[in-house]
């Protein structure tokens, strides 16, 4: 496994900071950015996303105006999520898939959700030396993960950026994520097709996969199926196939498939795209595709409300102090968790 953090070029953070500075210096014209986005101008799209990612109040109001203007033009791409542990070859895979799609005349945007990145830390897709050939393609747009300390915030920015990319006419949006915290769940809740990248390893193939991830996957792809590794990759494929067979049938009535590929040697990529097309056909026909998007929207609406309710409760300085006292009392069996909760809720009410 390569250490990706060491590969972030020194100019990445400077670029991000420069962009924000530019935003602050001059007045942002929403109609101009919107016109640019609609006419497929990538500079305008970049500017729009920077606005979405800004944490300044005046920017976020403008961002909402921009998103609202873009909404009627959005919602008509295929959204694909790609996850896998570091070292599995996510970037190489996304580049191979992206290049294939560009060749087929599609326009491809690549976004990322990485809550572990910060403005000073760097992020996946932040390394400009990765995805070199895709970066140079006219039909491709690549954007690193927004920075932020909470997954909710990062996910919201990415989800709003999807809308801008769709308004800019991208046919396929690929969203990359690493297995940090609940980031796969967040990405799974914003895509149509969720793909888990794996490597063939020694021993039990399912070891080390976080609980629940396999159940989310619409496809498992064993990468680096080349050279000496080919036989092991095929064995891993069979093991995963058997394992998937044991899972309950998904709500989409889609049976997840297991494929092998070599992103480096560019083999097996076409088959993966064909599988995605098959999924899109089936899920469109049986209505699941549309249902799922509606449910995802409702999920984000409720999720955002609940996160905000919780954070305004737990971040109240008085509650913070009391909470730790109450947790102590519960641990010492002086009070039940329910009585402690009731005490804190009463306190919160009286504070407002």
Interface contacts to a copy of itself, rule CB under 8 A: 64, 67-68, 71-72, 74-75, 156, 159-160, 163, 204, 206-212, 215, 243, 245-249, 294, 297-302, 304-306, 308-310, 313, 326-327, 330-331, 333-342, 344-345, 352
Closest CB 327 distance from a copy of itself, rounded Å: 6
Tokens describing residue 55? 């944490």
Distance between alpha carbon 37 and the CA centroid of its chain, in Å? 22
What is the pairing mode between strands 193-199 and 219-223?
parallel
Closest CB 136 distance from a copy of itself, rounded Å: 32
Closest CB 270 distance from a copy of itself, rounded Å: 30
Indicate the SS3 state at residue 178: coil
286/331 with CB nearer a copy of itself: 331
Indicate the SS3 state at residue 294: helix
Contact 232, 198 (CB under 8 A): no
130/188 with CB nearer a copy of itself: 188
Closest CB 128 distance from a copy of itself, rounded Å: 29
Closest CB 341 distance from a copy of itself, rounded Å: 4
Q: Tell me how far CA of residue 71 lies from CA of 12, 171, 333, in angstroms.
A: 30, 15, 53
Backbone phi, psi, residue 58, to 5°: -65, -30
1/246 with CB nearer a copy of itself: 246
Indicate the SS3 state at residue 210: coil
DSSP state of 75: S
CA–CA gap between residue 287 and residue 207 (Å, rounded) = 35
Those residues with Cβ within 8 angstroms of residue 82's Cβ, 6 or more apart along the chain or in another chain: 90, 93, 94, 174, 175, 176, 177, 195, 197
Closest CB 90 distance from a copy of itself, rounded Å: 21
Contact 66, 164 (CB under 8 A): yes
Closest CB 299 distance from a copy of itself, rounded Å: 8
202/246 with CB nearer a copy of itself: 246
CA–CA gap between residue 86 and residue 25 (Å, rounded) = 38
Closest CB 74 distance from a copy of itself, rounded Å: 7
Indicate the SS3 state at residue 55: coil
81/98 with CB nearer a copy of itself: 81
CA–CA gap between residue 300 and residue 12 (Å, rounded) = 30
Q: Which residues pair with 80 in a beta bridge?
A: 174, 193
114/166 with CB nearer a copy of itself: 166
230/329 with CB nearer a copy of itself: 329
């Amino acid at each position: 496994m390569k250490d990706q953090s060491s590969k972030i070029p020194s100019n990445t953070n400077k670029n991000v900071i420069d962009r924000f500075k530019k935003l602050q210096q001059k007045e942002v014209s929403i109609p101009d950015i919107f016109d640019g986005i609609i006419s497929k101008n990538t500079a305008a799209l970049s500017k729009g996303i920077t606005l979405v990612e800004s944490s300044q109040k005046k920017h976020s109001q403008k961002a909402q105006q921009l998103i609202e203007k873009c909404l009627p033009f959005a919602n008509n791409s295929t959204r694909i999520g790609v996850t896998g542990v570091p070292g599995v070859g996510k970037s190489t895979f996304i580049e191979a898939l992206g290049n294939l799609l560009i060749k087929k005349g599609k326009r491809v945007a690549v976004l990322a959700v990485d809550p572990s990145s910060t403005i000073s830390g760097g992020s996946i897709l932040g390394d400009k030396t990765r995805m070199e050939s895709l970066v140079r393609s006219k039909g491709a747009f690549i954007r690193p993960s927004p920075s932020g300390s909470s997954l909710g915030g990062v996910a919201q920015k990415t989800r709003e950026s999807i809308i801008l990319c769709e308004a800019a006419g991208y046919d396929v949006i690929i969203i990359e994520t690493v297995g940090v915290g609940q980031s796969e769940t967040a990405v799974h809740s914003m895509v149509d097709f969720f793909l888990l990248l794996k490597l063939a390893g020694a021993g039990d193939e399912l070891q080390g996969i976080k609980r629940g991830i396999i159940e989310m996957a619409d496809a498992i792809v064993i990468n680096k199926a080349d050279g000496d590794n080919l036989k092991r990759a095929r064995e891993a494929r069979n093991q995963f196939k058997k394992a998937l067979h044991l899972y309950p049938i998904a709500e989409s009535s889609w049976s997840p498939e297991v494929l092998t590929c070599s992103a480096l040697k560019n083999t097996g990529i076409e088959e993966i795209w064909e599988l995605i097309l098959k999924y899109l056909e089936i899920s469109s026909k049986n209505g699941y595709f549309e249902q799922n998007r509606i449910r995802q929207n409702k999920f984000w609406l409720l999720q955002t409300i609940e996160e905000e309710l919780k954070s305004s409760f737990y971040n109240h300085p008085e509650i913070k102090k009391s909470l730790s006292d109450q947790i102590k009392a519960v641990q010492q069996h002086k009070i039940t968790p329910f009585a402690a909760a009731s005490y804190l809720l009463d306190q919160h009410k009286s504070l407002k």
